[in-house]
Amino acid sequence: MDKISSSFLDKLIKTVKSFNLLAWGERVVVAVSGGVDSSVLLFSLYELRHYFGISAACASFDHKIRPDSGQDVIFVKDLCKNLSIPFYSESGDVKLYAKENKLNLEEAARILRYNFLLKTARDFNAEKIAVAHHSDDFAENVLMRLITGAGAGAISGFQAKSGQVIRPLINHSKSEILEFADKNSIKFTEDCTNKDTKILRNFVRLNILPSFKAVNPSFLNTVRNTAEILKKDDDFIEKISLKIFKDIAKPINNGKIYFKKKDLSELDEPVLYRILKFSVLEIYKSVQENKNSFFIKKPIIYYNNFKAFVELIKSEKPNAFFYIGRYIEIGNEYGKIFIGYAASADSLSFKSVEFNPVESVKNRELGAASRYNKYEYIIDKKPSSSKTVLKIKEINKTFYIENVNASRGAEIINKLINKDKKLNFEPDSVYFDYDKISFPVTIRNFKEGDRFVPLGMKGAKKLKEYFIDKKVPVKIRKIIPIVLFGGEIAWVSLNEISDHIKITEFTKNVGVMRIG
């Protein structure tokens, strides 16, 4: 008992009280892998359960990365049996999940593990989830952020309490944990993958961190102190920035937050960076709010992302945009800056018509403006039937072209010539002079240099200029079908037909084109 009532537990008690990690009567899920850190955490909280007035359960997740990983779960189960602690376990194919979601193994493992911990906390009615991160982990995290790049908030490291997640060992070093385990004969397992220096975290732990400790034996404390200063500075700037954000941001609409370009152009860069961060996190929350997903990977804002944001605000281009990761889109639309979920990854809407484009994976990952595959379909001769149907698989839409029957055609001609307002037009269809079709009929997406004669005009106009005048979003321009009769643009779908195929008093046969 003398060994158990050690300075180690005194320090843990002090940490819990200092950061208000636990309250009397709370239920806690302890995440345990079987390694020394989490085994010591479980043992410590078990010993202090009456002191804190808590009820604890253990949760162990098998990542299935190693062939023998199931043995770790069995070890933890036996440990819980000896301590009479409720035990929860689950497994997940991390490698498959990483492949399907284009994540590295560490990110994929973290997502699946925390989703399991959240589920376990709900099942156990736990207010807190305790994890075994310690001061060496903290230093590793800070060094990794410096290596990969991050803002002051990220470099300041993880906190003792983050929502439901608490870190009671955050003030303990790895050496203290090992010593406590040895003195109290606490058994644990060892994961051989922790020695794989191809993994950045392991490389930092095994190669970099020891060098810093050799130069400065108090390096762990130095990192914590420096991080604390950075955190306080960051909190102060964030407090000011958040007030500005609330004043100038337009509420989320269709997955986007809007700002007046003028408002952003007047802000200093430290505030702009946080405006970008707040917006991205708000979009992230709005997308995830209906999902039972805890730590789904959040978009990371890198330095080049922020500089692109600054350049976008300065840019005079009426339609420009870029992407952070795969699904966060930032753009300039005629004096307004928007930050939002890139619905283009799932669907696009224009004039009440929904598109579901198939993205070009290569371009998507590059964050290119043209994210979609080019397409071109040709009807090379007049079809035998009055109606032709063509599937455009790249946008998951169907093109219809049909010769309207004589009586309906006569009615349409009469109403158009007499400008009868009772003739209703849908945004996805147009009537035209069917006899002015020339083959081949081509259906494709936009090409640079396209020109056509809009309805009511005599001369040709660049299609790009037409799009700008009509304020057609850049992404829509890239995917909507352009219909050509004999090489000449006849219809810019969802917009206008060419003046050359309009219905006049001399029209005999009426055709209809539709995107559905």
Per-position DSSP letters for 298-332, written without gaps between them: PPP--HHHHHHHHHHHH---SEEEEEETTTEEEEE
Check pLDDT > 60 for residue 3. Answer: no
**Residue 346 reports pLDDT greater than 50:** no
Nearest-CA neighbor of 138 among 215, 235, 224? Answer: 224
The DSSP bridge partners found for residue 320 are: 332
Which residues have a Cβ under 8 Å from the Cβ of 3 and sit 6 or more positions away? 183, 184
Mean pLDDT of the chain: 86
* pLDDT band at residue 461 using 50, 70 and 90 as cut-offs: very high
At residue 351, does pLDDT exceed 70?
A: no
Q: How far apart are CA 32 and CA 89, in angstroms?
A: 10
211-229 pLDDT, tens per residue?
Answer: 999 999 999 999 999 999 9
Q: C-alpha dihedral over 172, 176, 181, 184, to 10 degrees?
A: -100
pLDDT at 1 over 50: no
If you average pLDDT over residues 23-47, what whole number do you get? Answer: 97
Q: Name, of 176-190, 360-374, 425-439, the range with top average pLDDT.
A: 176-190
| Residue 494 Cα distances to 45, 121, 432, 438, angstroms | 64, 50, 14, 21
| Comparison of pLDDT for 365 and 393, the residue scoring more | 393
Long-range Cβ contact pairs of 172-179 (< 8 A, separation 24 or more): 172/8, 172/11, 172/12, 172/15, 172/134, 172/135, 173/134, 173/135, 173/136, 173/220, 174/37, 174/134, 174/135, 174/136, 176/8, 176/11, 176/134, 177/36, 177/37, 177/40, 177/134, 178/36, 179/8
**What pLDDT is attached to residue 486?**
93
Say which residue the tokens 């039972």 belong to.
292
Answer whether residue 169 shows pLDDT above 70: yes
- For residue range 464-504, what is the model confidence (pLDDT) as tens digits? 888 888 777 777 788 889 999 999 999 998 778 999 999 99
- Provide the pLDDT confidence category of residue 251 given band limits of 50, 70 and 90: confident
pLDDT at 423: 64
pLDDT of residue 354: 52
**Quick one: pLDDT at residue 372?**
58
> What b/e readout covers 377-402, taking b as 16+ CB neighbours within 10 angstroms?
bebeeeeeeeebeeebebbebebebb
Q: What was the pLDDT predicted at 344?
A: 42
**Across residues 185-209, what is the average pLDDT?**
91
Task: Please report the pLDDT score of residue 182 as a whole number.
Answer: 94
DSSP class of residue 498 equals: B
Q: What pLDDT is stored for residue 397 in this prediction? A: 86
pLDDT reported for residue 363: 43
Please report the sign of the dihedral spanned by the C-alpha atoms of residue 431, residue 432, residue 435, residue 436: negative
Rounded distance, CA 341 to CA 378, Å?
34
Beta-strand pair 128-130/27-31:
parallel
Banded model confidence at residue 356, pLDDT cuts 50, 70, 90: low
User: Is 462's pLDDT higher than 80?
Assistant: yes
Angle (nearest 5°) at CA 122 between 117 and 125: 120
**Amino acid letter at 127?**
E
**What's the pLDDT score for residue 347?**
46
- CB neighbour list of residue 203: distance below 8 Å, 6 or more residues apart: 197
Q: What does DSSP say about strands 429-433 and 510-515: parallel, antiparallel, or unpaired?
A: antiparallel
Answer yes or no: is pLDDT of 12 > 70. yes
Omega before 440 cis (within 30°)? yes
- Residue listed under structure tokens 């003792």: 160
Q: State which of 174-183, 254-263, 491-500 shows the largest mean pLDDT.
A: 174-183
Residue 29, beta-bridge partner list: 57, 129
Residue 334 has pLDDT above 60, yes or no: yes
Band (pLDDT 50/70/90 cuts) for residue 345 is very low
Tell me: pLDDT of 512 over 60.
yes
Mean pLDDT check: name the lowest of 66-70, 84-88, 288-292, 443-447: 288-292
Tokens (6 digits) for 18: 């200092």
What is the per-residue pLDDT for 359? 47
- Bridge-based pairing state of the strands 27-31 and 55-62: parallel
Query: Above 90 in pLDDT, residue 185?
Result: yes
User: What domains does the chain contain, in order, with CATH numbers?
Assistant: 7-229 (3.40.50.620), 249-341 (3.30.465.60), 376-515 (no CATH)
Structure tokens at 57: 């359960």
**Residue of higher predicted confidence among 182 and 342:** 182
Minimum mean pLDDT among 145-159, 166-180, 267-281: which range? Answer: 145-159
CA–CA separation, 8 and 341 (whole Å): 46
pLDDT in tens, 270-294: 999 999 999 988 887 776 654 444 4
> What one-letter code names the amino acid at 427?
P
Is 418 a residue whose pLDDT tops 50? yes
Give the pLDDT confidence score for residue 358 in this predicted structure. 52
> Cα–Cα distance between 127 and 29 in angstroms, integer?
8
